[in-house]
């Protein structure tokens, strides 16, 4: 939410056949031209659309349970994703039910509610626009994030998380399906206090955490954590020997994050298979009012720059657990993802 203007700008650029219809914070709707291939298959090229589907109807008044049931039957669907555009950031509870305290109960016999969809499954979407208006639509769970209610995965942790970066890294790993295995060495630049490192350590990875700030003491219970208390560019390149995956989460403008990462990954002694970068929406001066970052042209330039480092597969997404930032995934070879899918 809050990134509607960026979302509209990127859709206008990648899918000019979409004509904006109406929008609210957290919800944008468009008309699709009659001859557009998007009418047959809705695959959007978008960093900011957290999830998307076809709208069937908007309703004024109370929640039309009978109508939802009818749409389930018509579409052969037995799963409903039910959320409010204004509180889609709420966490799901342990059982995977949405904590939707402001929404009326929705209980339709034989219909699963707010569970993850199976791959390819048809899902009926019921979205509260405001207390009196509802949008009913559907989507096919073709991409990983379309399996999650409101495009947001349920993330749980058995121990207290040391920072919210735990959630965003856990989500990035689920979304990207990176083939990171126990024992792999991951480097994170901008690692303190360590939520992201915690998510990787829990997977059995070794983590080289680089940050001039202190790591949360609780993480040193993990023997596979090493902290180098320096800025990224001051770390000797031999420290990266054997490391497979690079993470970066610096509280600086995207260009400065990329400068730091470029200086490392373009060194001949360094061989990462892939990386996950958090790119903050902020101007180089740090002035929020001047912030025009992460609009489509800048993202396109960032993707080209990262490809220039020998990363053939590059994708961007504003994760559900990202705030004023996006996630960039880059891999040397896309085949790495296919190899994981085969397993
Ligand atoms: C958003 S916090 C990182 C959160 C962290 N990833 C976590 O999991 O908790 C940003 C961090 O970037 C660090 N930082 C900023 N510039 C840096 C640089 N050039 N090299 C290493 N760390 C840097 C800051 O010290 C700060 O701790």
- Distance, in Å, from the CA atom of 97 to the CA atom of 71, rounded to the nearest integer, reads 21
Is the Cβ atom of 172 under 6 angstroms away from ligand 1?
A: no
Of all protein residues, the one whose alpha carbon is nearest to atom 26 of ligand 1 is 190
Decide whether any atom of ligand 1 lies within 6 Å of the 2 Cβ: no
Mean pLDDT across 225-244: 97
When pLDDT is averaged across residues 196-218 and rounded to a whole number, the result is 98
Residue 302 scores a pLDDT above 70 = yes
How many angstroms separate the CA atoms of 41 and 33, rounded? 13
- Please state the φ and ψ torsions of residue 182, each to the nearest 5 degrees: -55, 135
Residue with token string 């207390």: 131
Q: What is the DSSP string of 25-78?
A: TTEEEEEE-TT-GGGT------SS-----EEEEEEESS--HHHHHHHHHHHT--
The protein residue whose alpha carbon is closest to atom 5 in ligand 1 is 191
3-state secondary structure of 200: helix
Residue 329 scores a pLDDT above 70: yes
Pocket test for ligand 1, best of 250, 255, 286, 325 (most atoms within 8 A of CB): 250
pLDDT score, position 92 = 45
- Band (pLDDT 50/70/90 cuts) for residue 3 is confident
Mean pLDDT, the chain, whole residue set: 91
pTM over 0.85: yes
pLDDT of the residue at 93 = 44
Instruction: Give the Cα separation of 305 and 261 in Å (integer).
Output: 11
Residue 33 in contact with ligand 1 by CB distance below 6 A: no
The predicted structure's pLDDT at residue 94: 41
Omega before residue 178 within 30° of 0, cis: no
90 pLDDT more than 60: no
CA distance linking residue 278 with residue 251, whole number of Å? 9
Helix, strand and coil content of the chain, in percent to the nearest 5, comes to: 30, 25, 45
193 CA closest ligand 1 atom index: 9
The residue to mutate among 199, 233, 251, having the most atoms of ligand 1 within 8 angstroms of its beta carbon, is 251
pLDDT computed for residue 343 by the predictor: 57
Mean pLDDT of 124-134: 93
All domains in the chain, ordered by first residue: 4-151 (3.30.2130), 165-342 (3.40.50.150)
Q: What is the pLDDT of residues 257-267, one digit of tens each?
A: 999 999 999 99
Would the CB of 251 count as within 6 Å of ligand 1?
Answer: yes
Q: Helical H runs in 89-164?
A: none
**pLDDT given at position 339:** 62
Residue range 318-334: mean pLDDT, rounded: 93
């Amino acid at each position: 939410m809050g990134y509607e203007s960026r979302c509209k700008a990127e859709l206008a650029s990648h899918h000019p056949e979409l004509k904006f219809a109406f929008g609210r914070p957290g919800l944008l709707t468009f008309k699709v031209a009659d001859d557009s291939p998007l009418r047959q298959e809705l695959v959007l090229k978008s960093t900011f659309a957290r999830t998307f589907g076809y709208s069937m109807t908007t309703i004024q008044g109370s929640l039309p349970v009978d109508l939802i049931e009818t749409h389930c039957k018509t579409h052969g669907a037995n799963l409903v994703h039910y959320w409010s555009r204004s509180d889609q950031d709420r966490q799901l509870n342990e059982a995977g039910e949405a904590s939707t305290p402001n929404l009326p109960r929705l209980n339709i016999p034989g219909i699963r509610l707010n569970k993850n969809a199976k791959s390819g499954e048809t899902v009926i979407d019921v979205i509260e626009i405001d207390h009196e208006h509802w949008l009913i639509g559907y989507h096919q769970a073709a991409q990983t994030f379309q399996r999650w209610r409101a495009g947001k995965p349920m993330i749980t942790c058995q121990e207290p998380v040391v920072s919210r970066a735990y959630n965003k890294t856990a989500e990035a790993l689920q979304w990207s399906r990176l083939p990171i295995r126990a024992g792999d060495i991951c480097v994170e630049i901008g690692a303190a206090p360590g939520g992201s490192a915690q998510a990787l350590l829990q997977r059995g990875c070794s983590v080289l955490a680089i940050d001039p700030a202190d790591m949360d003491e609780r993480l040193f219970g993990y023997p596979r954590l090493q902290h180098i208390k320096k800025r990224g560019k001051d770390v000797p390149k031999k420290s990266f020997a054997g490391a497979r995956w690079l993470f970066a989460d610096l509280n600086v403008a995207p260009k400065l994050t990329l400068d730091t990462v470029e200086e490392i990954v373009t060194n001949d002694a360094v061989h990462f298979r892939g990386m996950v970068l958090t790119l903050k929406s902020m101007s180089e001066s740090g002035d929020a009012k001047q912030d025009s970052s992460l609009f489509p042209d800048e993202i396109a330039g960032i993707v080209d720059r990262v490809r220039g480092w020998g990363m053939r597969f590059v994708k961007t997404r504003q994760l559900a657990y990202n705030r004023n930032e996006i996630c960039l995934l880059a891999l040397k070879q896309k085949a790495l993802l296919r190899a994981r899918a085969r397993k």
